[in-house]
Structure 1
């Protein structure tokens, strides 16, 4: 298949799905992919950022995956479009994947005897059966600038749409971009579901309120879709079995106790445990996505492909995407940009906070990075304090031990340095890992530099108070 023919076919597929032809950047991404160019090279040729190219590529692969009926990505796009062409050419009479005047070879796709006759009615030919969609996304935040998360977005999409996972946790340290990623995900896949809902578990996230909101959504739509009845609402799990639903619970950590190991339910929210187990164990066609600082205890960090649950712990942005944050803050030309990103580990909130401080004070990145200095603006300290304050006393002891170490340490070294039993130490390390406050490199443990600096600053502050 020639380059021109492949682009023309891709344009037709995109138009059938979105009603819009390929724009210049989309065409550049597909052309570059067919010519085996990297996203970085495509971005340079098009004079835009690499993360913008990656985002456009991700959107294209998602649309093409849906329309071609297979997982399409940058590596297999050329072969996938070729397979689609061959399939349509050989089956164009019996197989109407894309109907009407679809063109695979520059010629209207009609049997020979029809090619000189009037084309079929376009509205009839191009219409696809659609299902009624019901959505309650009023609590979903508006998506601001979305920085490249192509890999994570593709992973979640695959888990939900292809592997039909029932329960997924999306966790990460404060400011890492969990909610932004979840919003982007919902916007891309919400129309694949009959029902899509987003609820934020704020200060009083009672299960009655949550279930009432969902069952009300189901009940209202059923009244609209059929004649009114006096039937009582079904149990929530029954709706999830009868309909394909996507439900997001944001800030799920509010269900759990402060001052305890990660994932322990507050007594008044214990009923969520039963609900999550139902969603995991019982057969249904829906997906519940839990977003927060820590997952429930019953959801392991490492999951098997044979189970319907998955867990994704989000890490920092790559240098290209993190660099966009600095450019947005007017710091595009600063020296040591890479070093600054590395020190704040590509955390979007941390970078925005320190970039704002640099900008407002008019200082240079070189000054910021001198002597391994880590700046902690007050808004950043507030975020870290909120998460630190949730930890148990046992975890705080381990954090203090790790904050004194200049290099990653193993379990044996930690056991020697503190008055903590091996069992308690193991439980504390697991809990800190689930809270995303701990970094593990094979059998070695360390803290993120920003968190280490926060703990040192906090300890120094408390020492000064005690001495007064």
Structure 2
């Protein structure tokens, strides 16, 4: 069900209830919600206050709840609307289908919007039984522009379908395209599984709520499939052993502490560690795909093919794919776009941000390539700040040291500063690497140019504040 279909259905519901069609802000709230945007982000795009957006959203969910007969909110609006669509479609079909039979009405009486309806042939009247597919992908974003990730897509597909990996982490700095890649992956392989589920961990934070939600999905679908009189709920791992499941957990970093080294669980989420250990160690036929800015601490960056656990750290797009972003933004006139792409490391979000700024201000893109200028639009600084604020004070110290270096440096050079012990330095470098905030080549480390510019700008702003 695409956005236009959902907008049309929602508009009909609102008109039926209020006598008025959706206004622009209501439509913006619905669109933003389906794209997993926060009310703050929707308000910024619509140039109004967050409280106004929140109030409009609340009123819209209330109208939909009353008309659909269930509690509709920001987290389940897509699934609720899709259930309504299925219900409406089923009612139409039932008007044309004989009770207890799959025979469609005779010639000349085709159900509306169902073309070429004919009595089934003997071959199609008794189809071979197929594996039941159960999905809960209501939280999965729609697939927008997907830039070429053929190699990464093939790697993940091989790990999941051929090597039967139990636990895979997909990491990368914000904006690099982790979620887009995962959506494309799920769309391609979901039919290989009995269950395909996508959850965002800011919506299901506690282990009890998460497991309960999954077990409820399993138990309800089993009851529908087999109609037992008494269906006893099993531990989660039993369902994963009984069925082949693909379970995607997005924003995995929400389980971990800010201000600590990467992958340290918040106290209330420690039980996820035991769950992931079970998923890794026990025998089953399912796969968990974890997506986020950093992996759990117990998941190594380098893994062996002899283990059922893998890590894929996503890097930037190649020049050809990244060039599509610049062309979409009207920057086709750049003589040598490779320099700009390299400067922003092929990061789709970073490139879109700077391309939008260049386009809106009418800056000559080629002029930026002369003196290695690195622009930091406000929306890009906001994204970088989110990840910078998650780091520990030790990591901030190391990044500050790296920001002063013009060339990659080794551990010995960093230790010359004398401010950080060798043990602390190594732990900080490992954590920064797991967060994808530094680059490593052989035994030398460096900061990405964009992050280096951000830290320099931040340091300058703090110095100005202190001088005042």
- CA–CA distance in structure 1, aligned partners of residues 122 and 351 of structure 2: 55
Residues 66-92 of structure 1: CA distance to partner in whole angstroms, max 9, x if unpaired? Answer: xxxxxxxxxxxxxxxxxxxxxxxxxxx
Q: Over residues 236-294 of structure 1, what are the superposed CA-to-partner deviations in whole Å (9 max), with x where a residue is unaligned?
A: 11100000000000000000000000000000000000000000000000000000000
Q: Deviations over 1:376-399 (max 9, x none)?
A: 000000000000000000000000
Cα distance in 1 between the residues matched to 2:286 and 2:229: 25
Q: TM-score under structure 2 normalisation?
A: 0.73
SS of 1:398's partner is helix
SS at match of 2:148: coil
1:360-399 mapped onto 2 (5 Å cutoff): 360-399=360-399
Partner residue in 1 for 2:351: 351
Q: Tell me, which stretches of 5 or more residues in structure 1 are unaligned?
A: 1-119
Residue 279 of structure 1 corresponds to: 279
Instruction: Tell me how many residue pairs correspond in the alignment.
Output: 348
Shift of 1:221: 0.5
| Cα contact 1:336–1:365 (8 A) shared by 2 | no
**Counterpart residue number, 1:20:** none
Say if 2:219 and 2:231, in contact at 8 Å, map to a contact too.
no
Separation (CA, whole Å) in 2 of partners of 1:198 and 1:466: 46
Aligned 8 A contact 2:401 2:414 in 1: yes
Contact 1:259-1:391 within 8 A present in 2 as well: yes
Change (3 A) 1:429 1:325: same
Q: CA deviation at 1:212?
A: 1.5
TM-score (ref. length: structure 1):
0.73
Shift of 1:129: 4.3
The answer for the alignment partner of 1:336 in structure 2 is 336
- The CA deviation string for residues 301-346 of structure 1, in whole angstroms up to 9 with x for no partner, is 0000000000000000000000111111122222321111111010
The Cα of 1:406 is off from its aligned counterpart by: 0.1
Distance 2:311 2:399 in 1: 24
CA distance in 1, matches of 2:160, 2:296: 19
Most deviating of 267-276 and 200-209? 200-209
Q: Which residue pairs with 1:445 in the alignment?
A: 445
Residues 74-116 of structure 1 deviation map (CA, whole Å, 9 limit, x = unaligned): xxxxxxxxxxxxxxxxxxxxxxxxxxxxxxxxxxxxxxxxxxx
Query: 1:370 & 1:265 partners in 2: Cα distance?
Result: 45
Maintained 8 Å contact 2:166/2:280: yes
Shift in CA distance, 289/427, structure 1 to aligned 2, threshold 3 Å: same
Find the residue that maps to 1:310 and give its secondary structure: strand
8 Å CA contact 1:401–1:418 kept in 2: the answer is: no
Tell me, which stretches of 5 or more residues in structure 2 are unaligned? 1-120
> Which residue pairs with 1:466 in the alignment?
466
Measured after TM superposition, the shift of residue 371 of structure 1 is 1.4
Aligned-pair CA distance for 1:128:
5.4
Match of 2:270 in 1: 270
CA separation in 2, counterparts of 1:283 and 1:255? 25
Query: How far 1:146 sits from its partner (Å)?
Result: 0.2
| Structure 1 residue ranges, 4+ long, deviating more than 4 angstroms after superposition | none
